[in-house]
Structure 1
Amino acid sequence: MSLPADFAPDAVAAIRARLDTARAQGARILFAIESGSRAWGFPSPDSDYDCRFVYIRSVAEHLALEQPRDVIEFPLEGEIDAGGWDLRKALLLALGGNAVIVEWAKSPIVYEEAKGFRERLLDLLAEIVDPARVSRHYLGLARSHVAKIGSFAGEVKLKKLFYLIRPIVALDWMEQRDFVMLPPMNMVDCLAETEIPAKATSEIRRLIEKKRVTRELGTGSIPTEIARYLEARYGHHEMNLAGSVRDEARQARNRALATDFYRREAESP
Structure 2
Amino acid sequence: MNYDPRLQQHVDQHPYPLLFATISGAHLYGFPSPDSDFDLRGVHVLPLPEVVGLKTGRETVEKTGFYDGLELDLVTHDVKKFCGLMLKKNGYVLEQVLSPLVVLTSPEHARLRELAVDCVTKHHAHHYLGFATTQWKLFAKEEPPRVKPLLYVYRVLLTGIHLMRTGEVEANLVRLNETFRLPQLPELIERKLVGPEKGMLEAADVAFHHREYERLVAKLETAYAESKLPETATAADGLNELLIEVRTASK
Scaled by the length of structure 2, the TM-score of the pair is 0.83
Matched-pair contact (CA < 8 Å) for 1:158–1:219: yes
Q: How far did 1:135 drift? A: 1.4
Instruction: Identify if the C-alpha distance between structure 1 residues 157 and 117 changes in structure 2 by more than 3 Å, giving closer, same or farther.
Output: same
Q: Counterpart of 1:171 in structure 2: which amino acid? A: G
Deviations 1:64-122 (A, max 9, x none): 222212101113226222121111111111111111121112212221122x3332111
Alpha-carbon separation, structure 2, partners of 1:97 and 1:229:
25
1:138 aligns with 2:128: yes
Q: Equivalent residues in 2 for 1:114-133 (5 A)?
A: 114=106, 116-127=107-118, 129-133=119-123
Instruction: Identify if the C-alpha distance between structure 1 residues 123 and 204 changes in structure 2 by more than 3 Å, giving closer, same or farther.
Output: same
> Which of 205, 211, 214 does residue 228 from structure 1 map onto?
211
SS at match of 1:124: helix
Matched-pair contact (CA < 8 Å) for 1:52–1:82: yes
2:200 aligns with: 218
Alpha-carbon separation, structure 1, partners of 2:64 and 2:9:
13
Alpha-carbon separation, structure 1, partners of 2:249 and 2:168:
29
Alpha-carbon separation, structure 2, partners of 1:124 and 1:113:
15
2:99 aligns with: 107
Alpha-carbon separation, structure 1, partners of 2:42 and 2:140:
34
Matched-pair contact (CA < 8 Å) for 1:3–1:110: no
Alpha-carbon separation, structure 2, partners of 1:46 and 1:232:
31
2:20 aligns with: 31
1:81 aligns with: 73
SS at match of 1:184: coil
Alpha-carbon separation, structure 2, partners of 1:69 and 1:244:
38
Alpha-carbon separation, structure 2, partners of 1:238 and 1:135:
8
Matched-pair contact (CA < 8 Å) for 2:164–2:224: no
Q: Equivalent residues in 2 for 1:147-186 (5 A)?
A: 147-150=137-140, 156-177=145-166, 181-186=167-172
SS at match of 2:39: strand
Work out the percentage of aligned pairs sharing the same amino acid. 23
Scaled by the length of structure 1, the TM-score of the pair is 0.78
Matched-pair contact (CA < 8 Å) for 1:203–1:225: no
Alpha-carbon separation, structure 1, partners of 2:194 and 2:155:
20
Deviations 1:111-138 (A, max 9, x none): 1122x333211111212x1321211111
Q: How far did 1:17 drift? A: 3.4
1:190 aligns with 2:170: no
SS at match of 1:66: coil
SS at match of 1:131: coil
Q: Counterpart of 1:72 in structure 2: which amino acid? A: V
- For these two proteins, the number of residue pairs brought into alignment is 243
Q: Equivalent residues in 2 for 1:241-260 (5 A)?
A: 241-242=224-225, 254-260=235-241
